[in-house]
Structure formats: C-alpha cells, structure tokens
Amino acid sequence: MEAPLRGMNPANYATAEEGKREKIQVVVKVRPIMLIERGQAARYTNKTVVLVEGNELFLKDPYEGMDSKIERRRGEHKYEFNFCFGERSNNLDVFNSVMIPLLDAVLEGYNACCFCYGMTGAGKTYTMMGHLLPSVPRDVKGIYTYTGEYIFSKINENKGNKRYRLKVSYLEIYNEKIRDLLEEDDEEMDEDEYEQKDQIQQDNKTPSNSNQIPNENKQIQSYSELIIAHNLDVREDIFGNISVPGLREMSVSTLRRLEFLIKRGNSRRTMAATERNAVSSRSHAVLQITVEGRERINSKLDNNGQKGEKKQVFSDQLKEELNENNNKQQEEDDDNEDQLKDGKKWKIFLNSKLSLIDLAGSERAQGSGNVGARMREGANINKSLLALGSCINALSAEAREEEQKMKKQQKNAGIQNQDDQNNEKDNEQEQPADNSHPSVPNKEKHIPYRDSKLTRLLKDSLGGNTRTVMIANVSPSAVAYEETLSTLTYAARAKAITRTIVKTGAGMSVGQQRYDK
C-alpha cells in the first residue's frame, strides 16, 4: 500500500484518488488611511500607494517624480489575487466572497483554515473580531461572528434525522509559548455575568483585556512565568494530524455561547500599546471549531458497518491508535443525551475542522518605537513570521517545480503522441516516452515547519489536507510602503502553493466509520 497523503487517516485511502489539487486562496484587504498617516506621508509624492482595480492591485512608488539622490525609486508593482478589497470594503464583503465557500466546504466534510497576515495596525484583528473587541462599535461584525451565524443557520436548516455538535478551542502563541485561552480559572462566569461585566467596562470605557502587559519589569516577568507554567506542546500523530494535548475543547450550541467564549479568551490574550497600534496583539491567536454531524439510520448492520461495505485492513500500529480513539469517543457517547431507544442508531457523516487564525503583526524595530519588553516581543513575533515566510517560500518553490515538471511531462507526452500517429505499428509494444512512468521518487523538499510553534500548528493548513484562505491586510499609506511590499510579496508566493484536498469523510477523526447505539 502506498503511504497516505499527509494529514490523512487510513479510511481516506479508498478516496485518495478522488482528491484534487487546489491552490491556497489569497485575498487582500486594504484598510482606510488614518489621519495620522496623512500627516506622516506629507514628504512623499504619493501619499497613498495602493490602488485596487478588480482583482488586481497596484503598489505605486511613493517617491514617483522626485529627483533625489538619497531616496531610491521603488517602481510600481502589480499583483493579481483571488479577491482584492479596497478601502471602502467591509468585513461582510470579505466574508461573502471567500468565507461562505470555505464554510460550505467545512459542512461538506473538508477541513479549512483562514488566517490574517500583515503588519501591525493593518486591520487583522479588526477583520477577524469586529465588535468582539471592546474598542470596536457593536454594529461592526467580524469573521468570527459571521462564521458563527452562518454555521448555526445552516445546521438548523438541516435538522430532522440529523444532529450536529460543535466544539471550540482557543489558544495563543506568545513568545513561542502556547497558552489555552479557555482554560478553567477561579473566575468562571456564565454568559449573563460576563455580559454585565463587559457592559460596565464599555460604559466606563475601560479596557476589558486583563492581559495588557504593564511596563514594570517585575510584573512582566511574573506574567512570563504564568505563560511558561501553562505552556502546551504541539504534537503530530502517525497520520500527520496536528494537535495540542491538554487544550480545552468546549461545546457550543448558540452564537451567544460562541461569542462569549471568544470574548473570554480575548480578555486573556496578550495585548499592548505600541506607536503603530494602541491595542496591538502581541500573540498569534488560533480559534478552532470542530463540526460533527450524525444522522439516524435504521438498517441492519454487520460488524463491519453497512452490508457490502469493503473491509479495511489496518496495521497493528494503526489499530492500536484507532482503538484508543474509539474508546475515548465511546466514553463521550455513553453520556450522550440524544441516544435513541427505538432500535435506530447514529451514524457519523461529518467530522471537519475550521481554524481561524489572527496572527500578530510584523513590524520593523526602527519604525515601531518599541523598547525593552515590546522589542523582545517584536523579535519573537518576527521570528515566527519569518519561519512562516520560509515555509511559504519553500512550498511555493516546490509548487513551481511540480508545475514545470508536469508541463514537461505533457510536452513529452504530446511529442510521443505525434510519434505514435506516425509510427503506430512500431510503437505498439514500446513504453511511453514521458516521465510519468513510475520511477524512483525524488527526494522530498524540506519544509521548515519545525522552526516555530506557529508553523508547526499551520503545517496542515499550508501543506496538508486543508482548504486554506489567506487574508493579507495592508495599509494604503506611503509610510507603510516597505511593510506593504513585504506582505504582498509573501501573499503572491502563497498563491502558488498547491495541495491535494480530500474530504475527511464520516468518522475520519478516529480513522473509520463508527455506529453508536
């Protein structure tokens, strides 16, 4: 048997050939220029350097027309992405264009991921969170809220013989340490208590984020010790699935509950003020939503599932892991209030995951105004983002090489087909002249996922069995030209990354279909 595709369980083998090659979808969102940026850009010929025309984006030279020996001319850059959203666009525009197809894929059984990338203050957290941030008006929704609304509306439409279960986890990566943002503490509150507290803070205009790091070195050290004490690790199982052991998962059945958990997690997230951003995210935040669907069945089953179903052969190592996962799932099922007593059974038909990631912003030490702890944080943020950039570079280079190889094979195949037409009899017994015939595989290109916790978590999203959307957030100001150029360069490279995507299938989290009494 051939080795499984990365991130696949054994039950995927039968459908692996049905998988198709897909590229990462990349969209660019340009936030409005701020008043302070207009003043800072006074010395430039072009005060705004980003122009959006359809799905094309032009990055103009801020020094265009200037005759200066000191400032070098940048020249104009042109990019084409899946979608480009200008300064007048909003979060709903982004959601309708890219997130609805992604969520439909999740509800069809695909794993999916959306992450925001860009400089500090470019609008990443605003795009993801919207009014879940205390500084944002309540009528401004973000990707998180729109996602919750859409998923709950869809699963409510599909009720009947089907039942859905949603579970949520929320973590942050701060200074290469992973912390559970939903971990239990001594101040556990329900939604009503939290909303009352949040309303009081809104009225008093006080920040609700308890993890805004103070400037006193003593307090910074004590907070760092707290992070270290709760540091979690990233694991990868034999199927290539990424997990964080010990991470708390909580059930959600309403949008209100989902927003409550996100707000509570945000209140624990590491934030701080910088010159670029009054409320800057100093950590990467990963929200993961698991969607499990079950439907009632009433057919006689044998020990292997449905009649006529093909038996699957597993190695001893696979069996051991599958049995362990099945035992854990059975313990959950024993407490399931929805168990039927009429002889019917539940069949898992959907088990997929959605990851929504708000990355900390890249920043230059020279322009950020950061010193001391802020500078050290910035160095760690840039280190993890540099590792992400290295993975994107390696994966895009791999995709380009594969594309060139396929073109060469097609060209050789075309030449051979022409020869076959001219010499049909002579070539009847000959092997094909192209390179598609099985041979010794090339050495797999090294992708530096292990260079940071962030890239280890994103491994499946970048190079595995996950449908992925990258939102590149940029500022239109000439002041941010270098950062915008860097963001767009990585976004253009990410657009070239190609993966084989297959559905996770029914019960794929445990590697085989399961039927619960």
pLDDT of residue 95: 98
CA distances from 495 to 101, 103, 246 (A): 17, 20, 34
Is 455 among the annotated ligand-binding positions? no
Looking at residue 273, its pLDDT comes to 55
pLDDT given for residue 363 in this prediction: 66
Q: What is the pLDDT of residue 77?
A: 94
Give the per-residue pLDDT at 387: 93
Q: Would you state the structure tokens that stand for residue 175, as one six-digit string?
A: 């200074």
- The pLDDT of residue 392 is 94
Q: What is the CATH number of domain 10-299+344-412+446-516?
A: 3.40.850.10
Q: Are 353 and 111 in contact (CB under 8 A)?
A: yes
- Stated pTM of the model: 0.76
Treating both helix axes as pointing N-terminal to C-terminal, what angle do 191-204 and 255-266 enclose, rounded to 10 degrees?
60
15 is in an annotated binding site: no
Q: Which residues contact 354 (CB under 8 A, 6 or more apart)?
A: 102, 103, 106, 111, 112, 113, 114, 147, 288, 289, 290, 291
For 335-475, where are the alpha helices, taking DSSP H only? Answer: 365-368, 373-422, 453-457, 459-463
Q: What pLDDT, on a 0 to 100 scale, did the predictor assign at position 17? A: 39
Q: Give CA angle at 136 (132, 141), nearest 5°.
A: 55
Q: Two tokens at 507?
A: 């019960």
Where the chain has pLDDT below 50, the residues are: 1-17, 69-71, 206-210, 212-228, 299-311, 330-331, 334-342, 365-366, 368, 370, 426-442, 507-517
> Has 122 been labeled as part of a binding site?
yes
Q: Is 120 annotated as a binding residue?
A: yes
Question: Who contacts 253 (Cβ-Cβ below 8 Å, separation ≥6)?
Answer: 166
Domain positions in the chain are 10-299+344-412+446-516
